[in-house]
């Protein structure tokens, strides 16, 4: 099976046509015609992902975050893409298309925290909005999220209302407070948010919970493994969140 065949399998489930215009997705490095010997799944192309791919005999890394995002003006050993290509690894990155697609990151995040009856939050398909596992207060819900995701901690700007409708956006979604309000949500769960976004959420009386970029996105890796099952050996990268709550 070629690396391009792996790309085609992923494309069936998470079409690259769904990606935002500014994004960079697909086969971003390596020879698509090469036979795939194994797949290393990771959120990012890191030293750990590269090293574990080598130990596992995998010549393809599939990530969520694009290994090449902004234009490259220089290529040095400090860059992960340099080290990966030097070792003969190919890289496929599925970013916003994996966020938007059915069964992608946001659906996996919703399932992980028990939000059901989901619909897209934004017109472009980003995010989800649905019903929480039970009605509770903001602090209790923040603790529930932390436990479900195994997050080291969460940041929360509690609103005054009980949690009855939850908007979700994995990763950096703190700018979606207005979208949450428009969708009738009293709570917005994201990976990360700015201080100013917490302030704005308070003004709109929306509970804003930031559970960590890594914690809200790593939930998709088992789904990717299931989609790719039966192709070649697949390995999940053993890596810890770089954001540590002390």
Q: Could you state, in order of their start, the residue ranges of all structural domains in the chain?
A: 3-98, 102-216
Distance, in Å, from the CA atom of 186 to the CA atom of 165, rounded to the nearest integer, reads 6
CATH superfamily to which 102-216 belongs: NIF3 (NGG1p interacting factor 3)-like (3.40.1390.30)
Q: Residues annotated as binding site?
A: 64-65, 99, 213, 217
The model's confidence at residue 241, banded by pLDDT at 50, 70 and 90, is confident
The stretches of 35-161 forming alpha helices (DSSP H) are 47-56, 80-86, 96-100, 105-113, 138-149
What 3-state DSSP class applies to 73? coil
Choosing among 3.40.630.10, 3.40.1390.30, 3.30.70.20, 3.40.630.30, the CATH entry for 3-98 is 3.40.1390.30
What percentage of the chain exceeds 90 in pLDDT?
A: 92
Same fold, 3-98 and 102-216: yes
The predicted model scores a pTM of 0.96
Which residues are part of a known binding site for a divalent metal cation? 64-65, 99, 213, 217
CB atoms within 10 A of CB 27: 18
| Percentage of the chain modeled with pLDDT above 70 | 100
Q: How many CB atoms lie within 10 A of CB 1?
A: 12
CA atoms within 13 A of residue 17's CA, in its CB half-sphere: 4
Helix (H, G, I), strand (E, B) or coil at 82: helix
């Amino acid at each position: 099976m070629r690396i391009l065949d792996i790309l085609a399998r992923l494309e069936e489930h998470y079409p690259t046509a769904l990606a935002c215009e500014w994004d960079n997705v697909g086969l971003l490095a390596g020879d698509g015609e090469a036979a795939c010997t194994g797949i290393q799944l990771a959120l990012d192309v890191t030293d750990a992902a590269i090293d574990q791919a080598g130990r596992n005999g995998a010549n393809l890394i599939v990530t969520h975050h694009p290994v090449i995002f902004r234009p490259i003006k220089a290529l040095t050993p400090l860059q992960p893409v340099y080290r990966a290509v030097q070792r003969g690894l190919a890289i496929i990155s599925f970013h916003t298309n994996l966020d938007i697609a059915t069964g992608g990151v946001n659906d996996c995040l919703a399932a992980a925290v028990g939000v059901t009856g989901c619909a897209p939050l934004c017109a472009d398909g980003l995010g989800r909005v649905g019903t929480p596992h039970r009605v509770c207060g903001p602090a209790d819900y923040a603790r529930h999220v932390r436990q479900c995701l195994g997050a080291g901690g969460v940041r929360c700007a509690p609103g005054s209302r009980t949690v009855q409708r939850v908007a979700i956006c994995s990763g950096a979604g703190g700018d979606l407070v207005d979208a949450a309000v428009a969708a009738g949500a009293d709570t917005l769960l994201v990976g990360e948010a700015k201080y100013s976004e917490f302030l704005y959420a308070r003004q709109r009386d929306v509970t804003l919970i930031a559970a960590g970029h890594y914690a809200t996105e790593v939930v998709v890796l088992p789904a990717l493994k299931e989609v790719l099952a039966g192709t070649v050996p697949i390995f999940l990268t053993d890596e810890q969140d770089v954001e540590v709550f002390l």
